[in-house]
A = this chain, B = another copy of it.
């Protein structure tokens, strides 16, 4: 029995072996090297090489191993690796990939390289890829593959069983699809279950055992597809045009993959990284992408900080406040981020919709009142004891309490509002939240302090 073994060799052995095999130009040794590793380990070893060496390796190893590595890489990285290859070689690797992956890669490549590859591919495959790369990414059209287990409505059970029993590449590419029955005009008319095939005599026409298939249009969203696969145990769902003509099949696996990628990219965006980033990308590119987001943020930060500027007199009079300004804004920022997190999660689970903003606000403010008062009392006591001024404690505590309530309201509702107006909540929620909670935090502390000045300076 083959047990899946995790790697025990040290890294040094690994990269030495890789470099040695590469230096020797030994394709077989390279194949053996990558074959032994898991795809993520293999990809890591590949990406750790300088870019010239990556090209050498991808040119030497067998096309199907190369295809596995390209598919394992995040889309943009995979497209870059392909762009760097000679066109002939890129086409060889392309031929090993499923049409949905081909379309993703072509869509992510520079148009010149993409055209060069399409020009050398099999004309029919290239036409499929061109057609498929037109569809939006996270729709049924963008996720489907064109390798469909199509059977003419004139076929019998025995015909299908012959196809299934054939030991060739095409059948592997169907990935466990059920046979879809297509009429002479290309319309999807039925689907046949494995049980149907096995329990019926071999001479029966497929049309006698087929059932009505569920199908989606090419513009069905990722969430629609998630709903279908949640509810039904299908491994794939056919995609049809407005007239019921068969376009392709979306597999359960493609949907799972897209959902995972969406969650991971949201994660990255919430942390302020817009667009893909791996550390193996060029420094200037990583730097530029991060800077784009940071420099927008610096402007928002200035707006918030200008509130402090307006109260410099108060600050000079009660300098102890300076210690608590960042605490109040940071803490409310944290409370607000928690609310953003819960809303993003509920959005992705489909448990709230943009129009539920008011309901969400009610739920948030009830937590905000409790936590605001609790944290306000806590920080108020700290300020009182630390600086020996009960009035200061009151100012800081009240400011944090108020600002926490504001922060959870903004944090809970802003992602829904952004979604409603067609903006990406993962990118914009954080900066908006921080700006508002900073401004309001500074304002609450400093304006309360100004009002309380007589008691504050007497201490």
Residues of A within 8 A of B (CB): 1-4, 6, 11, 38-41, 43-44, 47, 68, 72, 74, 161, 164-165, 167, 171-172, 175-176, 188-189, 194-195, 198-199, 212-217, 220, 223-224, 226-228, 230-231, 233, 235, 237, 240, 244, 252-253, 256-257, 259-260, 263-264, 266-268, 270-273, 277-280, 283-284, 286-287, 290-291, 293-295, 297-298, 301-302, 304-306, 308-309, 312, 315-316, 319-320, 322-327, 329-331, 334-335, 337-338, 340-342, 344-346, 348-352, 355, 360, 363-364, 366-367, 370-371, 374-375, 378-379, 382, 386, 434, 438, 442
Give bound CA distance, A243 to B313, whole Å.
78
State whether B341 touches A324 (Cβ < 8 A).
Answer: no
Give bound CA distance, A351 to B280, whole Å.
10
Copies of the polypeptide in the assembly: 2
- Chain B residues near A363 (CB-CB < 8 A): 279, 283
Give bound CA distance, A188 to B1, whole Å.
8
Given contacts A228-B4, A323-B306, A341-B272, contact A195 B171 (CB under 8 A): yes
Given contacts A324-B305, A334-B294, A342-B278, contact A370 B283 (CB under 8 A): yes
- Chain B residues near A337 (CB-CB < 8 A): 271-272
State whether B267 touches A263 (Cβ < 8 A).
Answer: yes
Nearest-CB distance from A320 to chain B (Å)?
7
State whether B304 touches A326 (Cβ < 8 A).
Answer: yes
State whether A198 touches B338 (Cβ < 8 A).
Answer: no
- Chain B residues near A308 (CB-CB < 8 A): 322-323, 326
Pick 6 A–B contacts, CB within 8 A, sort by A: A4-B216, A271-B344, A283-B370, A287-B370, A308-B326, A312-B319
State whether B330 touches A301 (Cβ < 8 A).
Answer: yes
State whether A290 touches B165 (Cβ < 8 A).
Answer: no
Give bound CA distance, A322 to B287, whole Å.
29
Give bound CA distance, A116 to B280, whole Å.
54
Give bound CA distance, A398 to B257, whole Å.
44
State whether A334 touches B216 (Cβ < 8 A).
Answer: no
State whether B278 touches A346 (Cβ < 8 A).
Answer: yes
- Chain B residues near A175 (CB-CB < 8 A): 233
- Chain B residues near A278 (CB-CB < 8 A): 342, 345-346, 349, 351
Given contacts A301-B330, A305-B324, contact A68 B341 (CB under 8 A): no
State whether B2 touches A367 (Cβ < 8 A).
Answer: no
Give bound CA distance, A378 to B298, whole Å.
9
- Chain B residues near A301 (CB-CB < 8 A): 326-327, 330-331
- Chain B residues near A366 (CB-CB < 8 A): 283, 287
Given contacts A327-B305, A351-B40, contact A273 B319 (CB under 8 A): no
Nearest-CB distance from A230 to chain B (Å)?
5
Q: A252-B253, A283-B367, A305-B324 are in contact. List 9 more A-B contacts (CB 8 A).
A: A4-B216, A263-B264, A267-B267, A271-B344, A278-B345, A283-B370, A293-B334, A301-B327, A326-B442
Give bound CA distance, A99 to B116, whole Å.
51
Give bound CA distance, A43 to B227, whole Å.
12
State whether A198 touches B438 (Cβ < 8 A).
Answer: no
State whether B331 touches A286 (Cβ < 8 A).
Answer: no
State whether B1 touches A326 (Cβ < 8 A).
Answer: no
Give bound CA distance, A214 to B379, whole Å.
58
Give bound CA distance, A3 to B39, whole Å.
37
State whether A302 touches B315 (Cβ < 8 A).
Answer: no
Give bound CA distance, A189 to B1, whole Å.
7
State whether B267 touches A341 (Cβ < 8 A).
Answer: yes
- Chain B residues near A253 (CB-CB < 8 A): 252, 256
State whether A3 touches B217 (Cβ < 8 A).
Answer: yes
State whether B367 touches A287 (Cβ < 8 A).
Answer: yes
- Chain B residues near A438 (CB-CB < 8 A): 326, 330
Nearest-CB distance from A195 to chain B (Å)?
6
Give bound CA distance, A277 to B304, whole Å.
31
